């Protein structure tokens, strides 16, 4: 089946599919975890609920309006349960065109420390600056959406990467590729922080 957004936003669709699979291949998500969205004009295209990012195709995506109402979707497919906080990010940051939520292990481990993430590398200092922590709340809940939206709203516009306590990472940017690079750098930065903390004991 051809969707109305496939031709109009073909590059975004292709990138969403490609980098969703790369997120899985790089071990930044597992099983059916994580979700990716792109802004398509006044609408948002997001991965479907319980769809593994390793298997994302055009038929795994759902088109919503900015209030979360489903505009186009394969029969029986619901948008990710985290759609609320994706929409919250887009409303707070009009310049943002992509949001990735993933569950990388070292980032989650460091989030449990509830401490600022050290920027030990030149690349992290330059490209991440600082990484705020979004407080824990149940997955898919309105409370989590509020925590995400509030933390993003309180952060400088230059901040594009966040740790989510016990839940992973949230990265945002103008393109899917930019978000993927941020996700990789954030996880590598958390890995270095965890390993250095272990060495210090």
For residue 99, the Cα-to-chain-centroid distance in whole angstroms is 5
| Angle at the Cα of 25 from the Cα atoms of 159 and 53, rounded to 5 degrees | 75
Q: Are strands 133-134 and 161-164 parallel, antiparallel or unpaired?
A: parallel
The pLDDT score that the predictor gives to residue 196 is: 95
Say if CB 98 and CB 172 are below 8 A apart.
Answer: yes
pLDDT category of residue 20 using cuts at 50, 70 and 90: very high
CATH code: domain of residue 69: 3.40.225.10
> In whole numbers, what is the pLDDT of the chain averaged over residues?
94
pLDDT digits (tens, 9 = 90+) for 100-135: 999 999 999 999 999 999 999 999 999 998 999 999
C-alpha to C-alpha distance for 161 and 102, rounded to whole angstroms: 11
Coil, helix or strand at residue 179? helix
Encode 24-74 in three state secondary structure: HHCCCCCCCCCEEEEEECCEEEEEECCCCHHHCCHHHEEEEECCCCEEECC
pLDDT at 90 over 60: yes
C-alpha to C-alpha distance for 117 and 86, rounded to whole angstroms: 23
The pLDDT score that the predictor gives to residue 8 is: 75
> Which of 40, 67, 147 lies closest to 101 in space, CA to CA?
147
pTM: 0.95
The domain tally of the chain equals: 1
pLDDT digits (tens, 9 = 90+) for 66-89: 999 999 999 999 999 999 999 999
The pLDDT score that the predictor gives to residue 6 is: 66
Instruction: Name the residue range of residue 14's domain.
Output: 4-199
pLDDT at 1 over 60: no
């Amino acid at each position: 089946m051809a969707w109305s957004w496939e031709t109009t936003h073909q590059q975004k669709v292709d990138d969403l599919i490609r980098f969703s699979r790369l997120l899985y291949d790089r071990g930044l998500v597992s099983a059916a975890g994580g979700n990716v969205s792109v802004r398509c004009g006044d609408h948002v295209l997001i991965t479907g609920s319980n769809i593994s990012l390793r298997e994302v195709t055009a038929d795994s995506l759902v088109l919503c309006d900015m209030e979360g109402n489903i505009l186009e979707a394969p029969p029986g497919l619901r948008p990710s349960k985290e759609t609320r906080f994706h929409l919250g990010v887009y409303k707070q940051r009009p310049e943002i065109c992509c949001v990735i939520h993933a569950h990388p292990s070292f980032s989650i481990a460091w989030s449990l420390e509830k401490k600022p993430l050290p920027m030990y590398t030149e690349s992290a200092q330059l490209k991440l600056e600082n990484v705020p922590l979004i407080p824990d709340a149940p997955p898919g809940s309105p409370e989590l959406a509020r925590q995400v939206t509030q933390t993003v709203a309180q952060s400088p516009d230059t901040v594009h990467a966040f740790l989510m306590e016990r839940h992973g990472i949230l990265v945002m940017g103008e393109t899917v590729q930019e978000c993927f690079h941020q996700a990789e750098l954030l996880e590598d930065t958390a890995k270095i922080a965890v390993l250095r903390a272990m060495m210090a004991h």
